Chain A
């Protein structure tokens, strides 16, 4: 990429912890945050989930925000605060906010429906996050299902490349809702046991929730402010599988194109990639399709690949940046997060990494969504 995109701050909230410290500890120790549903109001108790272990009141107390906000906004505020602080910033003054969500404030809507008032659409949850930090010059919301946050990173990076912004706050936030727990249930892609990405016995995904934000910054702004970057966004790719509204193609065309674009943009060869954080949801279809795409990109020599979904559950719209923060931690700390719960190889899947210490220079991070909205981000040290 001709213009370097630096990452100067990161913040994360998920089932394995609040903040980079707790997250790193859980990733290193292999501690999953998936368990029986405790916080979400739902009649559906069959499926375990990766809930953030804080009630809305606790989230509000931690962030100083109103407990009446949607859980999506509350988690987003916590994650964005950490990212801003790390970047040495205290507000969004002069910094556009690009967030990704699909559920938005559905956790509130589903309680009042058929009344809609007040509206809790996707954009409203982003505006509530912006308002908490004194307002952004402008904000917008990507809604491409499970790749929403990854696409927010891409749009934010393009704003910097084109000179429309010097700093952008990008990320995503998604709370669990009774609506999409039942929705994924109706599609019969939820597992009643903890998910097992790439395992022969995998039987579906576990839903999760959380938020993560990154501060993207141009080189000029970085030098002017005298801050040190955590890593670089060296490339990215967004492609469409254009196959089915919810299923992935057998040859993983969308995933293949997204990774290929990211590599080309970064000017890297497949063998330069030291680790791939897979989308790896644990559904039979996704993991086989993603494996096909990985085999097409990397051929015989596939770098270590792991899915962190067995730690957090599938955090849907937020997964793109939650897992980006995992990748940044992996780059900085020199380790590969384990692919938990994997035991039995499947000929249609790659063999995932058991994790451990590793010197990492370049990482690919995949996030794929319903409708074939496939994106891949490439982070470099």
Chain B
């Protein structure tokens, strides 16, 4: 018997939105080490979980088309000698797409299911589908699902030339099997 799945909270930052005040979340040193995308991801996730009244979610599932592309580019630039900069391990570490979900898990102490989908046009939908499936099956009771993407001038130009609209995403939602206080039901037609 499959359970119903409900949307409980939603927090989104649009590309043009001013950056939130991160001082309540990060120390100056932490904030300096983290790119804008990671900061937005932690902020929206924290807000959504607070709205839903959940401290540590059963699962953290993220969709991202390009991951922390800024870091990937920095590492590529150093690799190709485009920048005079040395190869920095932090850029490499934060170039893997799952760096977002793992950072959120580390900050929340979330030891449950953790996954990242990277499939342009289906990244967020896959994350929703994964969360829906596990809640419906009864494997987990709730999940934090996010959609995070940043744009760089290089990537944005390239997308435009190929007729693809460059888009940034910073969206966190909380799904749960609990119908109480739900905003709406999530069904397979949503992904």
Partners in one complex: yes
> What residues of chain A have their CB less than 8 Å away from a CB belonging to chain B?
102, 104, 109-110, 113-119, 121-124, 126, 138-145, 151, 155, 158-159, 161-164, 178-180, 182-188, 238-246, 253-254, 257, 369-373
Kindly list the 5 A-B residue pairs having the minimum CB-CB distance in the complex, ordered from nearest.
A371-B102, A123-B119, A183-B92, A116-B158, A240-B114
Give, as a whole number of angstroms, the nearest-CB distance from A172 to chain B: 12
CA distance A116 to B154 in the complex (A): 8
**B96 near A102 (CB under 8 angstroms)?**
yes
Contact present for B102 and A121 (CB under 8 Å): no
New contact pairs (4) apart from A182-B87, A371-B99, CB-CB < 8 Å: A162-B2, A180-B92, A370-B98, A373-B114
- Contact of A240 with B112 in the complex, beta carbons under 8 Å: yes
CB distance from B23 to the nearest CB of A (A): 22
- For A140, list chain B residues within 8 Å (CB): 117, 119, 122, 126
Expressed in whole angstroms, the Cα–Cα distance for A174 and B120 within the complex equals: 18
B117 and A245 form a contact (CB under 8 A):
no
Chain B nearest Cβ from A366, distance in angstroms? 16
**B115-130 interface code vs A (CB 8 A; 1 in, 0 out):** 1111111110010001
Q: Tell whether A113 pairs with B76 under 8 Å between CB atoms, given A122-B97, A140-B119, A162-B133.
A: yes
Q: List 25 A-B contacts (CB under 8 A).
A: A115-B158, A116-B155, A119-B120, A119-B162, A121-B65, A123-B118, A123-B119, A123-B123, A139-B122, A143-B97, A144-B116, A155-B130, A159-B133, A162-B2, A182-B75, A187-B89, A240-B60, A244-B106, A245-B93, A369-B98, A370-B98, A370-B102, A371-B105, A372-B114, A373-B115
* A115 CA / B88 CA spacing, docked (Å): 22
A155 nearest in chain B by CB position: B130
Chain B contacts of A179 at CB under 8 A? Answer: 75-76, 79
Is the beta-carbon distance between A110 and B80 smaller than 8 angstroms?
yes
Q: Which residue of A lies closest to B96 (CB)?
A: A145
A138 touches B122 (CB 8 A): yes
Given A158-B130, A242-B109, A245-B102, answer yes or no on A123-B79 (Cβ-Cβ < 8 Å). no
Inter-chain contact B82/A114, CB cutoff 8 Å: yes
Residue pair B79, A162 in contact (C-beta under 8 Å):
no
Q: Is B102 a contact partner of A240 (Cβ separation < 8 A)?
A: yes
Residues of B within 8 A of A161 (CB): 137
Taken together as a complex, chains A and B put the C-alpha atoms of A163 and B82 apart, in Å, by: 50
Chain B residues in 8 Å Cβ range of A164: 133, 188
A141 touches B111 (CB 8 A): no
B108 interface residue (CB < 8 Å to A):
yes
Which residues of chain A are within 8 angstroms of B148 by Cβ–Cβ distance? none
Check B162–A142 contact: CB distance below 8 A: no
Contact B110–A242 (Cβ < 8 Å)? yes
Whether A142 contacts B114 by the Cβ 8 Å rule is no
| Residues from chain A with Cβ under 8 Å of B89 in the complex | 183, 186-188
Interface string of B55-84 (1 = CB under 8 A from A): 000001000111100000001110110100
Q: In the assembly, what is the distance between CA of A180 and CA of B108, in Å?
A: 28
- B167 CB, nearest partner CB in chain A, Å: 14
Complex: A373 Cα to B108 Cα, angstroms: 15
Give Cα A122 to B2, complex, Å: 31
Chain A residues within an 8 Å CB radius of B108: 242
Q: Does B101 contact A (CB under 8 A)?
A: yes
> Across the interface, do B93 and A187 meet the contact criterion of CB distance under 8 Å?
yes
Which of B79, B110, B121 is in CB contact (< 8 Å) with A240? Answer: B110
Given A159-B133, A371-B102, A151 and B115 contact (CB-CB distance below 8 Å)? yes
Q: Tell which of A122, A144, A240 has the most Cβ of chain B within 10 Å.
A: A240
Residues of B within 8 A of A238 (CB): 113-115
CA distance A110 to B75 in the complex (A): 10
A369 / chain B contacts, CB cutoff of 8 Å: 98
Cβ contact within 8 Å between A239 and B111: yes
Tell me the bound Cα distance from A183 to B76 in angstroms.
Answer: 10
A118 touches B114 (CB 8 A): no
